[in-house]
């Protein structure tokens, strides 16, 4: 895995699936056309809590085009979705409604319009319950239990050292409480699936999805058939960011049930409103944060209490609880840490995975208070971060020690270098306030505490010297197919045009778990690296016979096998492949990559959790209009240690996109509720950043070599969300002199605060 | 009702219900699925087509309104021999495509912009694409792609 002379890894090759996307030829799930296609449309609750008394379907069934109504009793299996214990979410609500937007039946018709008309004509008698809408209401003594187990979804502790002692020895103690709001994924393609009965008792489900193996399992369980009867193929997927992990299991199961019952292909395409109200959101949070420090800025202890509002069902809350817990102390060496992280049920749309997975919330709190500490000690914000930053060999909050690839100090130094050379404008100070904010963060790569982390990949080389990669992780726009192609091409000495990467097909590849946790490049890349390596061994053996030399004298390069010491002595790789085939060397390999297992104490969360961390430091400079509250981001710099960067342009794209999502979380986006009903379930009232809201992100990579990833890689998909959101909050605080403790810090909030402070 | 229009240079004659959306005509009847539906409310721009050269959300346009017009969908941009249009090329080269769902609409809005404004300023690019939402890229590379496409197209025209 030496990084010398890399041909494909480290190069901004074009996106391998880009051509079909710019020409409109890529088939997304709604693009499949069948003459006998039926459409499903869910009937959803318009109140947040209630008991279902009666569902009348007759009027709906008589609407022209309606062919069936699927009720909970039509589900032959367990009527459960949700990928984690406590498995508390019904596919169709059969007794109790727990959030506005929850489905309780599905209408099938010959068009989506007819299906929707049918759903509107369903008469449901739902006896309303008083909804529980806030963390405090849910935790109040005697509160109604949203689930039989109560209103606490999951709770975990992290205990390192003796935090009480640290606080007793502190020179300075700072405490504050921070809040964040729900955020909607707002991928441009809503959740869509298409289920096709294949006549052999099996069902094929094409899905816009993130984790096809989760869908397969849920469909099988809800159909009450063996999983081997279900095939899931990922269609081109128009963004996911975590959101299509849960949601696709729901509509995938419903479509499969309807398709088998009616023996027709069935498509379910959520409308935008359904996508917002009826699928997961980012957890809202309330975080109490206490820091104990010495006069010189050394942080000696942190005590943190995290409450996550997870909405009506557990979904991925138990894992978000863990991730927030583990990351809340930040990328710093702190000897005494005590954290409690808890997710709470409320009668609102359930919360699940969203790019960052709990880390943006805790990073906002951590980095806001870091600046307050710097202020109190009259220290430079970067200096105090660097003073406390983890170095190789330091134990982090879970006492995990990395000897390599801990690049947080490098990211701080790089930001300092740019920051020193940057002059914040000073024009028109009567009207404008200016400020620069910083934030450091880290994010674990791999499933870590969430369980086993395995990926299967196959690589086969054809006799013409072209290769096909198959892997169980999904392309969602992040560019993973391109990265996998680059790794396979690198190992096999192929040009990029010789490598194809399949969409995930659960029939043809090992269950690779979910495509999450910024792990594709690292763990998935390793599986491709190993599979390609086995194929390469066959080719080297064959070439050695052809050259009459030893394998170690041969390299595969530029579509040739050539001698190391004489690059003019070369055989076209296709000739080697033909010979290898006819000699009987295997030309295909299925490999398996298993990340080192996490081992930690369940009570204290002390131990080894992740296989690597991405480290980052962001700088954001803003100009605020005192008259209107309008914020203009003048400069945004995102410096990350993502290990070896496989594709610099795709790396930039990940940072630019994630940063704007972080900016949206911090400044623009807010789900508004009234009595538990979302008031702004559309893209006009819910402010997804447009091109006019974009921020001028610059990206810099400080490459460290990560020994657990092929060629030293780590991941980059999620981490920038946290850095951008937290640095925005610090920039606004710097400019206004006011500490904002709740996201989003909207223009209106800023203006009101400025006016109050006058 | 029977309507006639030109789609990607081809004359089309088709019988449509009066309340059919142009988006559904294009996708379901003409099979041109490159035009995407993101919100059905004219808020996201994924369904953008060009009608007589101007960008329109086809989800808000009734099919009969196409009568006598010339429309361009993403399928109409590729040249003979599968040659990419310079705008498509620029989006691909600049990394302005991630999931690709907004891309057809984004490219068509870019075409409309560059047709009327061959060398746009950044502010003009922002104005021209303000009706198209992208959740993946953060738009930085989209702006670069539009600038690069403008250079390519101006080069061709010289």
Token duo for residue A232 = 């899931």
Token duo for residue A660 = 């704007």
Average pLDDT over chain B reads: 97
In this predicted structure, the answer to whether residue A35 has a pLDDT above a threshold of 90 is: no
Number of domains in chain B: 2
- Residue of B75, B87, B99, B106 for testing the chain A interface, max A β-carbons within 10 Å: B99
Q: Is the ipTM of this complex over 0.95?
A: yes
Distance from CA of B3 to the nearest CA of A (A): 23
* Residues of chain B found within 8 Å of residue A22, distances taken between Cβ atoms: 84, 88-89, 91-92, 97, 100, 103, 107
**Co-location of A367 and A405 in the same domain:** yes
CB A527 within 8 A of CB A458: no
Q: What are phi and psi of A750, to 5 degrees?
A: -65, -45
- d(CA B79, CA A739) in angstroms, rounded, equals 56
Structural domain containing residue A357: 284-448+601-757
Angle between helices A648-663 and B140-157 (to 10 degrees): 130
Q: How much is the pLDDT for B156?
A: 62
**Co-location of B153 and B95 in the same domain:** yes
**Co-location of B25 and B57 in the same domain:** yes
Distance from CA of B81 to the nearest CA of A (A): 13
Average pLDDT over chain A reads: 97
Which pTM does this prediction carry?
A: 0.97
Number of domains in chain A: 3
Domain boundary among A594, A609, A638: A594
**Co-location of A563 and A636 in the same domain:** no
- d(CA A324, CA A341) in angstroms, rounded, equals 7
Element (H, E) at A166: helix A163-168
A18:B44 CB<8 A: no
CB A439 within 8 A of CB A617: yes
* Residues of chain B found within 8 Å of residue A19, distances taken between Cβ atoms: 84, 92
Residues A121-153: tens digit of each pLDDT? 999 999 999 999 999 999 999 999 999 999 999
Please enumerate in sequence order all residues whose Cβ is within 8 A of that of A576, keeping only pairs 6 or more positions apart, or say none: A465, A539, A542, A543, A546, A561
**Co-location of A585 and A633 in the same domain:** no
* Residues of chain A found within 8 Å of residue B143, distances taken between Cβ atoms: 691, 694
Kindly compute the dihedral angle of the four CA atoms of residues A286, A287, A288, A293, in this order, to the nearest 10 degrees: -160
How far are the Cα atoms of A371, A373, A385 from residue A377, in angstroms, in the given order? 10, 6, 13
Please enumerate in sequence order all residues whose Cβ is within 8 A of that of A120, keeping only pairs 6 or more positions apart, or say none: none
Domain boundary among B38, B59, B76: B76
CA nearest to A349, candidates A746, A681, A743 = A681
**Co-location of B58 and B84 in the same domain:** no
CA nearest to A346, candidates A151, A92, A178 = A151
**Co-location of B95 and B53 in the same domain:** no
B78:A478 CB<8 A: no
In this predicted structure, the answer to whether residue A271 has a pLDDT above a threshold of 60 is: yes
A348 occurs within a structural domain: yes
Q: How much is the pLDDT for B157?
A: 52
In this predicted structure, the answer to whether residue A204 has a pLDDT above a threshold of 50 is: yes
A24:B91 CB<8 A: no
Residues B137, B138, B144: CA angle, nearest 5 degrees: 80
- d(CA A689, CA B109) in angstroms, rounded, equals 18
Domain boundary among A576, A594, A612: A594
B36:A659 CB<8 A: no
Domain boundary among A579, A594, A609: A594
> What CATH number does residue A519 fall under?
3.30.365.10
Residues A347-392: tens digit of each pLDDT? 999 999 999 999 999 999 999 999 999 999 999 999 999 999 999 9
B95:A653 CB<8 A: yes
Residues A710-735: tens digit of each pLDDT? 999 999 999 999 999 999 999 999 99
How far are the Cα atoms of A40, A268, A321, A472 from residue A316, in angstroms, in the given order? 26, 23, 9, 20
- d(CA A569, CA A563) in angstroms, rounded, equals 6
**Co-location of A260 and A332 in the same domain:** no
B78:A23 CB<8 A: yes
- d(CA A496, CA A14) in angstroms, rounded, equals 9
Torsional class of A315: left (φ above 0), alpha (ψ -120 to 50), beta (otherwise): left
Please give the radius of gyration of chain B, using alpha carbons only, rounded to the nearest integer.
Answer: 15
* Residues of chain B found within 8 Å of residue A16, distances taken between Cβ atoms: none
**Other beta carbons within 10 Å of A35:** 5
- Residue of A24, A27, A503 for testing the chain B interface, max B β-carbons within 10 Å: A24
State mean pLDDT over B80-102. 97
State mean pLDDT over B7-25. 97
| Among the partner residues B93, B99, B129, nearest to A14 by beta-carbon distance | B93
**Other beta carbons within 10 Å of A552:** 9
Nearest residue in chain B measured CA to CA from A649: B95
A71 occurs within a structural domain: yes
Lowest mean pLDDT among A328-332, A568-572, A675-679, B154-158: B154-158
**Co-location of B56 and B116 in the same domain:** no
| Among the partner residues A236, A479, A682, nearest to B41 by beta-carbon distance | A682
State mean pLDDT over A262-268. 97
CA nearest to A688, candidates B102, B76, B10 = B102
State mean pLDDT over A42-53. 98
Distance from CA of B116 to the nearest CA of A (A): 19
**Co-location of A586 and A645 in the same domain:** no
Distance from CA of A688 to the nearest CA of B (A): 8
- Residue of B135, B143, B147 for testing the chain A interface, max A β-carbons within 10 Å: B135
Residues A573-628: tens digit of each pLDDT? 999 999 999 999 999 999 999 998 899 999 999 999 999 999 999 999 999 999 99
Interface A-B: count of C-beta contacts within 8 A = 173
* Residues of chain B found within 8 Å of residue A477, distances taken between Cβ atoms: 98-100, 136
**Co-location of A503 and A565 in the same domain:** yes
Token duo for residue B92 = 């691909």
Residues A303-359: tens digit of each pLDDT? 999 999 999 999 999 999 999 999 999 999 999 999 999 999 999 999 999 999 999
| Among the partner residues A17, A27, A694, nearest to B140 by beta-carbon distance | A694
**Co-location of B68 and B96 in the same domain:** no
Query: Predicted confidence band at A34 (pLDDT cuts at 50, 70, 90)?
Result: confident
* Residues of chain A found within 8 Å of residue B95, distances taken between Cβ atoms: 12, 15, 649-650, 652-653
In this predicted structure, the answer to whether residue A100 has a pLDDT above a threshold of 50 is: yes
Structural domain containing residue B116: 80-157
**Co-location of B116 and B60 in the same domain:** no
Q: How much is the pLDDT for A567?
A: 87
**Co-location of A462 and A440 in the same domain:** no
Distance from CA of A25 to the nearest CA of B (A): 6
- d(CA A421, CA A437) in angstroms, rounded, equals 15
- d(CA B91, CA B93) in angstroms, rounded, equals 6
Angle between helices A243-262 and A212-223 (to 10 degrees): 40
| Among the partner residues B98, B100, B133, nearest to A26 by beta-carbon distance | B100
* Residues of chain A found within 8 Å of residue B135, distances taken between Cβ atoms: 185-188, 239, 241, 657, 661, 688
Domain boundary among B21, B56, B76: B76
Q: How much is the pLDDT for B158?
A: 47
- d(CA A707, CA A647) in angstroms, rounded, equals 18
A561 occurs within a structural domain: yes
**Co-location of A619 and A638 in the same domain:** yes
In this predicted structure, the answer to whether residue A4 has a pLDDT above a threshold of 90 is: no
Q: How much is the pLDDT for A1?
A: 46
**Co-location of A349 and A323 in the same domain:** yes
**Co-location of A372 and A465 in the same domain:** no
> What CATH number does residue B30 fall under?
3.10.20.30
The distance in angstroms from the start CA to the end CA of chain B is 45
**Co-location of A586 and A487 in the same domain:** yes
**Co-location of B131 and B148 in the same domain:** yes
């Amino acid at each position: 895995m030496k990084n010398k002379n890399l041909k494909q890894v480290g190069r901004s090759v074009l996106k391998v699936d880009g051509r079909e996307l710019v020409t409109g030829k890529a088939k997304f799930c709604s693009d499949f056309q069948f003459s006998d296609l039926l459409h499903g449309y869910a009937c959803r609750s318009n109140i947040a809590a209630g008991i279902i008394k009666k569902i009348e379907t007759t009027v709906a069934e008589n609407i022209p085009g309606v062919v069936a109504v699927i009720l909970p009793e039509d589900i032959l299996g367990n009527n459960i979705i949700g990928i984690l214990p406590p498995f508390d979410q019904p596919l169709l609500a059969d007794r109790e409604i727990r959030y506005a937007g929850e489905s309780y039946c599905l209408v099938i018709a010959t068009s989506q319009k007819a299906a929707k008309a049918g759903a509107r004509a369903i008469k449901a008698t739902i006896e309303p319950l008083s909804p529980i809408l806030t963390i405090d209401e849910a935790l109040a003594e005697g509160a109604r239990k949203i689930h039989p187990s109560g209103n606490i979804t999951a709770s975990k502790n992290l205990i390192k050292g003796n935090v009480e002692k640290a606080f007793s020895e502190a020179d300075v103690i700072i405490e504050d409480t921070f809040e964040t709001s729900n955020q909607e994924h707002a991928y441009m393609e809503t959740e869509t699936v298409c289920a096709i009965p294949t006549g052999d008792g099996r069902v094929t489900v094409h899905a816009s999805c993130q984790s096809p193996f989760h869908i397969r399992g849920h469909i099988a369980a809800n159909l009450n058939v063996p999983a081997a009867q279900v095939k899931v193929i990922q269609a081109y997927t128009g963004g996911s960011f975590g959101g299509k992990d849960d949601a696709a299991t729901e509509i995938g199961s419903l479509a499969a049930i309807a398709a088998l019952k009616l023996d027709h292909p069935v498509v379910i395409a959520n409308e935008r409103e359904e996508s917002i109200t009826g699928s997961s959101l980012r957890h809202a949070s309330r975080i109490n944060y206490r820091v104990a420090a010495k006069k010189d800025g050394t942080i000696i202890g942190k005590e943190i209490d995290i409450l996550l509002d997870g909405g009506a069902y557990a979904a991925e809350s138990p894992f978000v609880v863990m991730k927030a817990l583990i990351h809340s102390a930040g990328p710093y060496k702190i000897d005494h840490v005590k954290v409690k992280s808890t997710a709470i049920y409320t009668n609102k749309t359930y919360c699940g995975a969203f790019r960052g997975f709990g880390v943006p919330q805790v990073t906002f709190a951590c980095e806001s208070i870091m600046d307050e500490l710097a202020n109190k000690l009259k220290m430079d914000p970067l200096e105090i971060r660097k003073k406390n930053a983890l170095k190789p060999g330091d134990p982090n909050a879970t006492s995990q020690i990395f000897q390599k690839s801990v690049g947080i100090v490098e990211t701080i130094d790089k930001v300092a270098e740019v920051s020193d050379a940057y002059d914040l404008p000073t024009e028109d100070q009567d009207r404008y306030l200016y400020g620069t904010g910083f934030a450091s963060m880290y994010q674990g790569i791999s499933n870590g505490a969430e369980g086993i982390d395995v990926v299967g990949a196959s690589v086969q080389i054809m006799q013409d010297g072209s290769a096909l990669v198959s892997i169980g992780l999904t392309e969602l726009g992040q560019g993973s197919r391109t990265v996998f192609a680059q790794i396979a091409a690198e190992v096999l000495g192929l040009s990029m045009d010789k490598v194809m990467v399949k969409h995930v097909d659960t029939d043809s590849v090992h269950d690779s778990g979910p495509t999450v946790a910024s792990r594709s490049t690292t763990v998935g890349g390793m599986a491709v690296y190993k599979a390609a390596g086995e194929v390469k061994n066959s080719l080297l053996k064959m070439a050695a016979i052809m050259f009459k030399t030893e394998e170690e004298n041969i390299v595969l390069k530029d579509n040739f096998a050539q001698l190391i010491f004489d690059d003019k002595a070369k055989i076209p790789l296709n000739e080697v492949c033909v010979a290898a085939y006819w000699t009987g060397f295997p030309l295909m390999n299925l490999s398996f990559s298993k990340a080192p297992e996490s081992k930690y104490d369940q009570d204290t969360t002390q131990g080894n959790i992740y296989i690597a961390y991405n480290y980052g430091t962001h700088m954001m400079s803003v100009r605020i209009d005192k008259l209107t509250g309008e914020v203009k981001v003048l400069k945004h710099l995102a410096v990350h240690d993502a290990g070896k960067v496989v594709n610099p342009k795709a790396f930039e794209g990940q940072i630019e996109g994630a940063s704007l999502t972080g900016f949206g979380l911090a400044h623009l986006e807010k789900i508004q509720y009234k009595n538990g009903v979302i008031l702004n379930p559309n893209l006009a009232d819910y402010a997804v950043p447009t091109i006019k809201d974009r921020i001028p992100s610059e990206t810099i990579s400080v490459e460290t070599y990560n020994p657990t990833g092929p060629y030293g890689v780590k991941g980059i998909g999620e981490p920038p969300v946290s850095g951008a959101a937290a640095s925005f909050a610090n920039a606004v605080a710097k400019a206004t002199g006011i500490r904002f403790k709740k996201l989003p810090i909207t223009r209106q909030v800023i203006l009101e605060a400025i006016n109050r402070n006058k | 009702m029977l309507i006639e229009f030109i789609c990607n240079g081809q004359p089309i004659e088709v019988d449509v219900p009066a309340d059919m959306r142009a988006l559904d005509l294009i996708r379901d009847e003409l099979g041109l699925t490159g035009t995407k539906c993101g919100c059905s409310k004219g808020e996201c721009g994924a369904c953008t087509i060009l009608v007589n050269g101007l960008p329109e959300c086809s989800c808000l346009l009734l099919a009969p309104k196409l009568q006598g017009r010339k429309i361009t969908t993403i399928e109409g941009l590729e040249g003979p021999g599968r040659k990419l249009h310079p705008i498509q090329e620029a989006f691909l080269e600049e990394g302005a495509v991630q999931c690709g769902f907004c891309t057809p609409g984004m490219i068509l809005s870019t075409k409309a912009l560059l047709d009327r404004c061959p060398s746009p300023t950044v502010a003009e690019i922002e104005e021209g694409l303000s009706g198209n939402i992208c959740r993946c890229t953060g738009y930085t590379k989209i702006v670069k792609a539009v600038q690069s496409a403008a250079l390519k197209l101006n080069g061709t025209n010289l």
